[in-house]
Structure 1
Amino acid sequence: MGLRDQLYILVLALLLWSGPAHGHSHGGGGDEHGVCGEVEGDPDTYDTNLHIAAAFIVFAASIMGSMLPVMSAYVPWLHSSTTGMEMLSSFGFGVVISTAFVHMIPPAIATLNNHCLGLDYSGIAMVIVLATIYLMQLLETELVIALTKYTSGKSNDTNQRVLESGILSTPPRSPHVGHSHGVIASGPSDEETAMRQKISVLIFEAGVAVHSIIIGVELGVSSGDEFTTILIAICFHQFFEGVAVGSSAVSAFSEMKTLVLSAFGYSLTTPVGVVIGILISSTYSDTSTTALWVKGTFDAIAGGILVYTGIVELVTYHYTTNPEFHKKNFTGRGLNYMCLYLGSAAMAIVGKWA
C-alpha cells in the first residue's frame, strides 16, 4: 500500500470518527465566539438529494481539469503545440503554490487558534507546516538514493549476466560522445531525476487528496445559501487544482493507464468527502476539539507538502535550474511567468469562497 493510499485511509478514519468542520471554515472552524461542540446544522434547509447531485458535479469539474493536461499530451493537434503545453503546466504550477498559501495554511492557522482548543501557542500550525517541509526533503532525498541504488544494482546484474553469456557485444563508438565501454546506459542523473519526479508527484497528490476530502466534507454538511456558494467555488477550485495534478502526472509518468488512474483518483477524493459530510451532517459540530485538531493538522500537513512541491519540485527544477528553460528568449520565459502568476491569481480569487 502506497503513501497516498495510507493517507487516504487515515484521514477518512479520523473524519468518520470525529466528524467534519461544519460549513465553510476558512475562518477557523466555526464561530469564534459560539458554543464549543454545538451542532449547527439546520435539517429544515438540508437537501440530501441536492448534496448527492453536488458530488457528481464536483467529480465532473475535477475530472475535466485533471484530464486536460493528459489529453493535451496524447491528442496530436494539442501535443504538437509545445508552447501551449508549457503554458498549461505553468498555470498548474501557480495553482499549486497558491493552493498552499491561500487554501491550506491560513485555515490551518485559524483552526488551530480557535478558542475552543484553548492553546497558548499561536504558532503550532506553522510548526506543523515547517516540520512537513523538512520531512518531505528528508523522505524524498533518501527514497531517491535508495531506489536509485536498487534499480542500478538490478541493471548491473542483468548486464553482467548478458555479457557472460556472450550475447551482448561492445557497441561501436559514437562519433558524438567520448569513450564508451560495454553497455550504454542512462546516467545516474537521468535515473535519479525520473525517480525523484515520480516520488514527488505521488506525495503531492497525497497532500491534495487530504485537502480535497476536507473541503468535500465541508460541502457535504453545508446547507442553505452557503451550500450554493461553496459548491460553485469548489467546482472552480477542483478544476484548477486538477490542471495542476494532471500537469504534474504528465511530467512524471508516460503510461496512459497511470495518468488516467491518477486523474480519477484525484477526482474521487472530494466526492468521497461530500458523502462523508452527508452521512454525519445532522450529528456533528465543527467546534469539537477532535474536529478542530483533525482539520487544522491535516490542512497544515497538506500545506507543507504543497509548499515544498510547488517551490522546490516545480518552480526551482522547471525554471531556476533548468538549462532548457534558460535557453528560451525573454518572450518565451515571460509567457511562462505570466501563466504561473495567472494560476496563482485564479486560486487566490477562488480562495475568497472556498
Structure 2
Amino acid sequence: MAAACVIDLSRTAACRDSVAASHFKFISIFLIFFTSMAGMSSPVLLARIFQGKSLYDRAIAVIKCFAAGVILSTSLVHVLPGAYAALADCHVASRHPWRDFPFAGLVTLVGVILALCVDLIATTHMGHAPYAPVETQEKESAVELGCDGSGGETEKVEEELMKLKQKLVSQVLEIGIIFHSVIIGVTMGMSQNVCTIRPLVAALAFHQIFEGFGLGGCVAQAGFNLGTMAYMCFMFSVTTPLGIMLGMALFSLTVWKLYYLHSWPQNTIK
C-alpha cells in the first residue's frame, strides 16, 4: 500500500506543470464555450427550420435518446469509476467509514431516486390529479367524447399539459447541468496536472456538444419563445468556462495566501 502511494505521488509530480496547465485551461475556456453553443443551438435552429415536417418528431427523438445515452454513459462509465477510485485511495480507504461502504454507489442511487421523485411530483401537479391507470383514463376520455363532443378541447388541454411538462423538464435539466458544469469547471481550473487536463479538454468539448443536443432537443420541443431559448443556450454555454475561470482564480488566491503566510514572519523580522 505504501509503495502504491509513492508511485502515485511520483506520477503526480511528473505531470505537474502550472504554465502548461494554464495554457490548456485558457484554450479550453473558448473551445468549450463554442462547442457548447454549437451543441445546444443546433437542435433549436433545426427545429425552427424543419418544424411541421414528417421527420421532425423522429429526428428530435433520436437526438434526445442519443444525448441521454451520452449523459448516462458519462455518469456511469466515466464519473462513477473515478469516484470509486478516489474513495479507494490509500489515504482514504483505510479509514472508517469509507472502507466499509460503497458511498459512490449510494450517492448515484440517491440521485436517481431524487430525479424520479421530481418527475412524479411535477407531473402530478401539472395534471392537478394523481396518476391513474391507463385504462381508466381511456374510459374517461371515451365518456367525455360521447357525452359532450369536447374531444378537440381535451386534445388542446393535453397538448398544453405536455408542453408544460416539457418546459419543466427542460428547466430542471438545465439547472442540473449548470450545477454539474460549474463543479467540473472549478475542479479543472484548480488542477495543475497536465496529464489530467489535456484529455479532459477534448472530453469536455465532446461531452458539451452531445449534452447540448439533448438539452436543445428538450428546449425545442417545449415551445419557449426566442428570448428564453437564447438565454438558456447562453447559460448552458457559459457555465463551464466560468467555472474554469473561478477555479483558476481560487487557485491563484490560495497560492498567494500560502506564499504570504510563509513569507510574512520573515518580512516582519527584517
TM-score greater than 0.5 by the shorter chain: yes
1:272–1:103: structure 2 CA closer, same or farther, 3 Å change rule?
farther
Pick the aligned partner of 1:210 from 176, 179, 184.
Answer: 179
* Structure label with greater radius of gyration: 2
Q: Residue 227 and residue 184 in structure 1: after superposition, are their counterparts in 2 closer, same or farther (change >3 A)?
A: closer
| Candidates 102, 119, 124, aligned match of 1:140 | 119
Describe the SS at the equivalent of 1:270. helix
Contact 1:45-1:223 at 8 Å conserved across structures: no
Distance change >3 Å, CA 46–CA 279, structure 1 → 2: farther
Greater share of helix: 2
TM-score where L is the length of structure 1: 0.53
Corresponding residue of 2:40: 66
Aligned pairs for 1:55-204 (under 5 A) are 55-76=29-50, 81-82=55-56, 83-117=58-92, 118=95, 119-149=98-128, 178-180=146-148, 185-186=153-154, 190-204=159-173
Q: Between the two proteins, what is the percent identity of the paired residues?
A: 24
Paired residue secondary structure (1:107) = helix
- Structure 1 residue 73, shift from structure 2 partner: 0.4
User: Are the aligned partners of 2:163 and 2:221 in contact in 1 as well (CA < 8 Å)?
Assistant: no
The alpha-carbon deviation at position 196 of structure 1 amounts to: 3.3
Distance 1:123 1:244, change over 3 A: same
Amino acid at match of 1:110: A
- Once residues 211 and 281 of structure 1 are traced to their aligned partners in structure 2, the CA distance between those partners, rounded to angstroms, is 20
Q: Normalising by structure 2, what TM-score?
A: 0.67
User: Which runs of 5 or more structure 1 residues have no equivalent in the other structure?
Assistant: 1-31, 151-176, 285-354
- The amino acid of 1:102's aligned partner reads V
Alignment-derived partner of residue 256 in structure 1? 226
> In the TM superposition, what whole-angstrom CA distance separates every residue of 1:20-50 from its partner, at most 9, and x where no partner exists?
xxxxxxxxxxxx72699xx969465346465
Taking the aligned partners of 1:135 and 1:44, their CA distance within structure 2 comes to 39
Q: Deviations over 1:224-245 (max 9, x none)?
A: 4543332222211211211122
Q: What's the secondary structure of 1:216's corresponding residue?
A: helix
Deviation at 1:60, TM superposition (A): 0.4
Q: How many angstroms apart in 1 are the aligned matches of 2:21 and 2:217?
A: 36
Unaligned runs of 5+ in 2: 130-144, 256-270
Cα gap change, 1:45 to 1:90, in 2 (>3 Å): same
